[in-house]
Each structure stands twice: as structure tokens, then as C-alpha cells.
């Protein structure tokens, strides 16, 4: 294991070197008919099958030489350090308002604690462990909530260049995901990243939501960020200012207006980069509407100049890439495009230039990609998609080769 992990994401298609995944586990079995929508699911997945699907997904990524790190293993390894465990638990119990069991949690085994931080803890389970729990709490009271969305690793954080964006998740059901990932980056011996955070660690940034699925690295100097249901314009402005003040390589941040609808929850649900100058997209009017805004590095109080442009997002892509090839979801067929967009046809994960991983159910999109010369490694995702996310959603790339 290297002393410290190199962070390097300067494109969406450079050969993948290292990625973080989370294999769905006991937290999935916390989903019930009366809570699955609260946890942002479309239905209740079958745990054994969702694990088989995820294992196939991970193996396809490994098949091209990438290293797969599992968040749950990194979490367990990080919690072995007493100071890291204390700092993590202090943040978790404050978030969950269960400070009374802090000392009890400090004394459980590392494996048990990692499971609790993912799958949650009911009052009856706490009592069975001998925790000091109020007698007035019902047995099924979740003292610590589960985080069943944790397998969508794209959202809790994002690496831009060699900087870390720690997300501020919009929905309470997902907030702890970002907290755990931030602590892994800070305290795990493979990372020990303290100066690399470029967003999300100051209190004034915690009021504005931003999620990793809205962040697309266009090239070494430019990123696009969706202003969506889950990412606010204020957060994008903060991120741009921080990137520019840190003298990062990023010189341009494009704000792309995404309608605040569940089916467009992030920018990457309608658009991904699959090869140089090539995208897979569910072409919607908002991508061709002149509403893009540009934050450009400048010597001002904010660190940027803001331009409300006449360019569409498609214009921006053509300008940044030099030319643009668009592969439409379902080959542009309107009926099937809407159907396959719902099952994340555009949300493929690029593991090398012109090589993507995606759900096999999106047959027409995959056929269009292959017809354009893109290699598609497909897999069954019928249980995974019940959380409304695709291959890109399930990955947190942290190192790629420069392209």
C-alpha cells in the first residue's frame, strides 16, 4: 500500500488508475415499504442480487487494470486509529443527536462500528449491546439512521485535479455519507489529506448544497457544474472562488442550469464524456438553451469574473473540446430515449478513452455507443437501478492517467 494516494482527475476519460466503490451491504435491508422513498429509492432492492450485480460491475472495472478500493474497508481501517475514531464519532453523534451513546460506540469493535456507521442502529440493538439507552425509546427507533445510498459513491465527494470537493448533500438521508468520506480522506493512512480540500470544510459552505454527480471535469483547465435540484448556484460560486484562490489549474467553471426534477437530479444523469470530443447525452432543451454562466479566474475580491453568456452548454463543449460528437441516448429515439434515460442510459462510467461500463438494459443506448466506436462493457443492474443511479453514479475516481 502506498504511503499516500496520488489524487489526479484532469479528465473524465483518462485511463482509470484508482476508484473508490461501496459494495451494498446491511444498510439495504433497512429499507421498508414505509421508508424507502424517504431514503430516495424507487423500490426495495434484493440484497443478495444487488451485491452480485455490484460485484460484476467491480470486476469489469478491474478487467482493464484499475485498482478498486472499497469505502467500507477504508472506513474500518481508518477507525482503528483512536483519534480518527473519536473525531468521526463526535461528528456522527452530533449529526444524529445521539451524544449519549458516544462512549458506548467508542468501545465496540472496529468491524461492528463500521457496520453501524453504514447500516445504522436501532434502540433494541443498542440495548442488546448494553448501551445506555432511554427506556422510553421504542425498540425500532433508529438512533443512527442507515445510509442505503452509500453505493452511489459519486456524490459525497469529488476529486478535481488534485483537490477534493467535500459535498454538502441536499437531503438529510445522505449527509453522513459525505461526513464519512471526508474523515477517510483526512485520517486514513493511505490518504492523510488535510490541505487538499477545496470546498465543504468551512461552516459558511455548509449552508449551500453541492453533490459530486453535478461536477464534470471537461479538461485540465475547465469544469462544468450542474445547478440542479441538489447543487445551488451559491455553492458553485464558492467552489469557483476557492479553486481560483488556491491557484489550481482550473481557470473556468461553467454553471449549467439543470431543471430541478428528480429525473435530472444531477448533470451526469443526462450527459457524460465517453472519449475525447465525444459525449453520450439525453438531449434536452436545457442543454441547448443559452443559459450557461461562466466563472473565470480574475484578480477581484471574489477571485472570479462572472459572465452570463449567450452560449449553450453544447456551444461550451464544442469550444472546450475543439469539436463535438454527440451520441444520443437510445440513438435519439424519443420514446426509448425517455425510457432509457430513466434507467441511466447516459450515466455510463468511462474507464479509458472510448471504453465505458453501463447497464445492459439500456440496449439502444449501448448500440448507439458501439456504432460510434465506443466499447461498452455491460452488466445487469436491475436491482442497482432501484436507487435511480447508473455506473458513473456508483464510482468515485481518484486517479486517472493524464490524457
Full-model pTM: 0.95
Grid coordinates in use for 110? 472496529
Phi, psi of 241 (to 5 degrees): -60, -45
CA torsion angle for 260, 264, 267, 273 (degrees, to 10)?
Answer: -160
**Residue 383 pLDDT more than 70?**
yes
Q: DSSP secondary structure string, 332-354?
A: G-HHHHHHHHHTTSS--EEEETT
Those residues whose C-beta lies under 8 Å from the C-beta of residue 340, and which sit 6 or more positions away, are 329, 330, 361, 362, 364, 365
Looking at 235-339, which runs of residues are DSSP E strands? Answer: 252-257, 271-275, 278-281, 293-297, 304-308, 325-328
51-104 confidence digits (pLDDT tens): 999 999 999 999 999 999 999 999 999 999 999 999 999 999 999 999 999 999
**Residue 309 pLDDT more than 90?**
no
User: Any alpha helices (H) in 204-280, and if so which ranges?
Assistant: 233-245
Residue 1 has a pLDDT of: 46
343-375 confidence digits (pLDDT tens): 999 999 999 999 999 999 999 999 999 999 999
List Cβ<8 Å contacts ≥24 apart for 289-292: 289/257, 290/315, 291/257, 292/254, 292/255, 292/256, 292/257, 292/316
Would you kindly state where each structural domain of the chain is located, as residue ranges? 18-22+33-67+151-171+192-400
Mean pLDDT of the chain, nearest integer: 94
261-303 confidence digits (pLDDT tens): 777 889 999 999 999 999 999 877 667 777 899 999 998 888 8
Report d(CA 63, CA 82) in Å as an integer. 36
Report d(CA 163, CA 185) in Å as an integer. 11
Please tell us whether the domain made up of 18-22+33-67+151-171+192-400 is placed in CATH 3.75.10.10.
Answer: yes
Q: Does residue 45 contact residue 26 with C-beta atoms inside 8 Å? A: no
| Burial class of residue 246 (count of CB atoms within 10 Å of its CB; 0-12, 13-18, 19+) | middle
Q: Which H or E run contains 143?
A: strand 142-144
Residue 97 has a pLDDT of: 94
Q: Does residue 54 contact residue 384 with C-beta atoms inside 8 Å? A: yes
105-142 confidence digits (pLDDT tens): 999 999 999 999 999 999 999 999 999 898 899 999 99
Query: Quick one: DSSP state of residue 204?
Result: G
393 flagged as catalytic: yes
208-256 confidence digits (pLDDT tens): 899 999 999 999 999 999 999 999 999 999 999 999 998 889 999 999 9
Report d(CA 149, CA 163) in Å as an integer. 24
| Burial class of residue 303 (count of CB atoms within 10 Å of its CB; 0-12, 13-18, 19+) | middle
Residue 310 has a pLDDT of: 82
Amino acid at each position: 500500500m502506498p504511503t499516500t494516494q496520488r489524487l489526479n482527475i484532469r479528465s473524465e476519460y483518462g485511463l482509470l488508475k484508482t476508484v473508490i466503490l461501496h459494495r451494498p451491504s446491511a444498510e439495504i435491508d433497512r429499507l421498508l415499504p414505509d421508508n424507502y422513498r424517504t431514503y430516495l429509492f424507487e423500490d426495495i432492492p434484493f440484497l443478495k442480487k444487488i451485491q452480485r450485480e455490484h460485484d460484476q460491475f467491480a470486476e469489469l472495472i478491474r478487467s482493464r487494470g484499475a485498482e478498486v478500493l472499497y469505502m467500507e474497508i477504508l472506513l474500518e481501517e481508518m477507525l482503528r486509529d483512536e483519534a480518527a475514531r473519536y473525531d468521526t464519532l463526535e461528528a456522527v453523534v452530533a449529526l444524529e443527536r445521539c451524544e449519549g451513546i458516544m462512549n458506548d460506540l467508542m468501545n465496540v469493535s472496529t468491524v461492528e462500528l463500521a457496520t453501524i456507521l453504514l447500516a445504522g442502529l436501532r434502540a433494541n440493538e443498542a440495548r442488546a449491546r448494553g448501551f445506555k439507552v432511554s427506556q422510553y425509546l421504542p425498540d425500532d427507533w433508529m438512533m443512527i439512521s442507515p445510509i442505503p445510498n452509500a453505493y452511489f459513491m459519486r456524490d459525497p465527494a469529488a476529486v478535481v485535479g488534485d483537490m477534493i470537493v467535500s459535498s454538502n448533500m441536499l437531503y438529510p438521508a445522505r449527509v453522513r455519507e459525505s461526513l464519512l468520506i471526508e474523515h477517510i480522506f483526512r485520517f486514513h493512512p493511505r490518504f492523510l489529506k488535510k490541505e487538499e480540500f477545496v470546498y465543504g470544510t468551512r461552516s459558511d459552505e455548509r449552508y449551500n448544497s453541492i453533490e459530486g454527480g453535478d461536477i464534470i471535469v471537461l479538461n485540465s483547465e475547465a469544469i462544468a457544474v450542474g445547478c440542479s435540484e441538489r447543487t445551488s448556484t451559491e455553492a458553485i460560486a464558492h467552489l469557483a472562488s476557492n479553486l481560483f484562490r488556491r491557484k489550481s489549474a482550473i481557470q473556468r467553471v461553467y454553471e449549467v442550469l439543470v431543471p430541478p426534477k428528480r429525473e435530472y437530479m444531477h448533470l451526469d444523469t443526462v450527459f457524460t464524456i465517453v472519449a475525447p470530443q465525444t459525449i453520450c447525452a439525453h438531449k434536452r432543451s436545457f442543454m441547448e438553451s443559452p443559459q450557461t454562466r461562466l466563472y473565470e479566474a480574475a484578480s477581484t475580491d471574489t477571485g472570479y469574473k462572472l459572465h452570463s453568456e449567450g452560449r449553450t452548454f453544447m456551444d461550451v463543449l464544442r469550444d472546450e473540446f475543439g469539436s463535438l460528437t454527440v451520441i444520443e441516448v437510445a440513438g435519439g429515439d424519443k420514446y426509448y430515449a425517455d425510457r432509457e434515460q430513466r434507467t441511466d442510459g447516459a450515466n455510463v462510467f468511462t474507464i479509458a478513452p472510448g471504453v465505458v461500463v453501463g447497464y445492459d438494459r439500456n440496449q439502444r443506448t449501448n448500440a448507439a455507443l458501439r456504432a460510434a466506436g465506443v466499447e461498452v462493457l455491460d452488466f445487469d443492474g436491475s436491482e442497482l437501478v432501484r436507487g435511480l443511479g447508473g455506473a458513473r453514479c456508483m464510482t468515485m475516481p481518484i486517479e486517472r492517467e493524464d490524457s
